[in-house]
Amino acid sequence: MSTQAHLVDNNMEKVARHLLDEAMLRETSDEKDVFGRSVFNRYYYATFLNVKEGLSGLKKEWEGNLAHASIPEMLRGQIQSELKRGLAKAKRASDSEVASLCSRAITATKSLATLMEVGRTLRVTADYHPEVAIDFSIGPYFHLNEFSVEDAKSWAPRARIFVNTISHAWKQVYA
């Protein structure tokens, strides 16, 4: 990840944490709701920036050309297919280390695709569906639909792990 992109997504996570603190301090449910929506939004964008930067490094033509909606499809389609080819090639060559890397990366593509779909769905709900209220009644953290803000907080770190797993296998197969 480039230094500039890393600073942007780190700052996005800082903004999300600040908005989370602000949401919890607010007195009215309307203010809590507005800040809570922004928290989900910022955590999603921090995650998206991590994934976009990481996947852009896999192929030259992907640099800067990854849209939100296309990432899960790309992960389950082209990236997973390429990794499956790498897995088959490694098995034919009896390279158990690369085969294991590819297997883990294939699993990571599935997990990352799901994470991105959930995050994007929640971001869209937060941004465009004010009729779906943020729920502050469950425990110490608030929820949007059935997802806790703690779930959203974990998206970017989990995405970084998945992207690193995918990138490492990709480099072994296509270097």
Examine the pLDDT at 7 and tell me if it is beyond 50.
no
Residues 95-138: tens digit of each pLDDT: 999 999 999 999 999 999 999 999 999 999 999 999 999 999 88
Find the helix or strand (DSSP H, E) in which 98 lies.
helix 96-128
Residue 118's pLDDT is 96
Ramachandran quadrant class, 139 (left: phi over 0; alpha: psi -120 to 50; beta: rest) = left
Examine the pLDDT at 61 and tell me if it is beyond 80.
yes
Give this prediction's pTM.
0.91
Beta bridge partners of 144: 147
Number of domains in the chain: 1
Taking each helix axis as running N to C, give the angle between helix 149-174 and helix 3-25, from 0 to 180 degrees, rounded to the nearest 10.
170
% of the chain at pLDDT higher than 90:
78
Residues 134-156: tens digit of each pLDDT: 999 887 789 999 899 999 999 99
Residue 119's pLDDT is 96
Q: What count of other Cβ atoms lies within 10 Å of the Cβ of residue 5? A: 15
Domain of residue 34 covers 3-174
